[in-house]
Structure 1
Amino acid sequence: MNKHATGDGTVGKALDVLEMVSAKGRPVRFSELLNESPLPKATLYRLLQTLVSQGMLSYGDEQQTYALGIRLVRLAHQAWRQSSIAPIARPIVSALSETVGETVHLAQLDNGQVLYVDKRNAKDPIDMYSQAGKVGPGYCTGVGKALMAFLEPGELDQVIAKQSFYRYTPATLADEASLRADLDTIRQEGIAYDREEHEPEIICIAAPILSPKGRPIGALSVTTSTRRKSLDELKEAKPELLKAASEIAAAVSDWQFPG
């Protein structure tokens, strides 16, 4: 059953339906949505028809399935350009990946989780979960912890309350106390690490991108595999990583970043 809140009227319900379709990652039938939605059958059907007519969803007659629509794609692209630091940061992200020879991620916080807004693969790319546009956990990724460490205490409490603390690997920080201890260390050192906490064999070093007032507006990471480098070897990228994070911060300092 879908657990999304539907207290925001028709618009809120329609957005919940869009998220349900998006979460499937494939075209989905009405019966599947009905099984998961708290909405009455007639209401769900009406919302789907409205979303289709507005181009936010598309409907395939042959398979009788719903998928995200082209209008939504256009809106998403504009949101990426207007509400993401990625367009400004892109040349710096590319240069960092070229310099260190590893995969570089750019991420922002999204409702307590990590939204990957850009990615530059190494010349010899490694298969991993993270891709631009994907959402990942905050508590067990380098970029997530780099972002969380520099939040104001009250905001940090809210973000921590949204973490699932699911143990992905034996190295995952699977409780609040362990996470808070790691965040204290990150604040002192200015960098965060993913020690195979989200995916086996995947490690990274990450740095926050801070506004002039010290607010985290993004995070940057250099990622590789333990098959290629040790964490100590990856730490050698720290100077270049911090330099790139500082350059991005300077590039967006006059930009009215969305609150």
Structure 2
Amino acid sequence: MSTILKPAEAEARYRAPALDKGLDILELLSREPGGLTRAELVKAMGRSPGEVYRMLERLVARDYVARSPEGDRYALTMKLFVLAHRHPPVRRLVAQAQPLMDGFARETGQSCHLAVADRDAALVVAQASGPGAWEFGIRIGASLDLVATGSGQTLLAFLEPELRDDLVRRWEGAERQAAFAAVEAELAIHRRSGYRVAESRQVRGVEDISVPVLAPGGHALAVLTCPYVHRLDGPHAAIAATLTLLRGVAERLSLA
């Protein structure tokens, strides 16, 4: 009979220090568009210069990290981005969704984005903006909180119950579990409605319109969200009409 280890026990038992060092470097560089020097990495990681230098050289050799022409600064290459977009299901979904999302944005004058579940977050994998002179949207690659955002709550609402319960059990800390408990009743309402429309919890004056893209069985494969902005510069699609159009896009992408 196999033994199921708790996350902390598994982490202690299956430590891989070299891998951890490499991942630490990648995560640090991902937050610094201008890159970091070796000295800055050493300070941030709290490791010896020799440890960091050896790992940097391997990451440069494998083309995950590039060295500046001057040789004193390191930055991420596009390799991780390319690898992420080789994932066939996501790539196929984005390929099908992008022209539909572009059409939605043109018709409504609003932006929209597509997000998929990524462990304990929602990851934005596609985005479309309207044809006007300005835009309001979320960048591709953004990680969205599952409890505090429209996309995240919609994914939670339409996840398979077993997956959702397992996810909540794995969340550490009473504060995060309490935040989920506070919105649990709302999630049931969204499931019954088939969509979520509510004021943004991040930006005043924006209403998030979110609809699920469904997999066979009626559970969420992804979610489409329009951060609806009330514009003053002419006639634009109302929220009800925007919701109808967004649901139409979701239905064309759904496999249910």
Q: Which TM-score tier does this pair reach, normalised by the shorter chain?
A: 0.7 to 0.9
1:114 and 2:122 matched? yes
The equivalent of 2:27 in structure 1 is: 19
- Offset, 1:61: 4.4
Name the SS of the counterpart of 1:78 in structure 2: coil
The equivalent of 1:256 in structure 2 is: none
CA contact (8 A) 2:39 2:49 kept: no
CA, structure 1 residues 22+246, in 2 after alignment: closer, same or farther (shift >3 Å)?
A: same
CA contact (8 A) 1:141 1:194 kept: no
Q: For the pair shown, which has the larger CA radius of gyration, 1 or 2? A: 2
**Alignment RMSD:** 3.0
1:83 and 2:90 matched? yes
Aligned mates of 2:146, 2:47 — CA distance in 1: 30
Which amino acid in 2 is paired with 1:245? Answer: A
The equivalent of 1:221 in structure 2 is: 225
- State the TM-score, normalizing by the size of structure 1: 0.78
Alignment equivalent of 1:126, drawn from 116, 119, 135: 135
- Offset, 1:46: 1.3
- State the TM-score, normalizing by the size of structure 2: 0.79
- Offset, 1:9: 5.2
CA, structure 1 residues 233+71, in 2 after alignment: closer, same or farther (shift >3 Å)?
A: closer
Aligned mates of 1:163, 1:190 — CA distance in 2: 29
CA, structure 1 residues 120+165, in 2 after alignment: closer, same or farther (shift >3 Å)?
A: farther
Using the TM superposition, name which of 200-209 and 150-159 deviates more.
150-159
The equivalent of 1:62 in structure 2 is: 70
Alignment equivalent of 1:247, drawn from 235, 239, 252: 252
CA contact (8 A) 2:129 2:136 kept: no
CA contact (8 A) 2:102 2:130 kept: no
Which amino acid in 1 is paired with 2:200? Answer: E
Write out aligned runs for 1:121-200 (5 A): 121-124=129-132, 125-128=134-137, 130-160=138-168, 162=171, 175-200=179-204
Aligned mates of 1:228, 1:189 — CA distance in 2: 29
CA contact (8 A) 1:138 1:163 kept: no
Aligned mates of 1:197, 1:93 — CA distance in 2: 23
The equivalent of 2:110 in structure 1 is: 102
Which amino acid in 1 is paired with 2:202? Answer: H
Q: Describe the superposition over 1:61-83 as per-residue Cα deviations: whole angstroms up to 9, x where unpaired.
A: 4271111124444434434x653
Gaps of at least 5 residues in structure 2 are: 1-10
Which amino acid in 2 is paired with 1:114? Answer: A
Q: Describe the superposition over 1:170-207 as per-residue Cα deviations: whole angstroms up to 9, x where unpaired.
A: xxxx9223221221111111111341212222222110
Using the TM superposition, name which of 203-212 and 139-148 deviates more.
139-148
Alignment equivalent of 2:239, drawn from 234, 241, 247: 234
Name the SS of the counterpart of 2:212 in structure 1: strand
Name the SS of the counterpart of 2:216 in structure 1: coil
- Offset, 1:26: 2.8
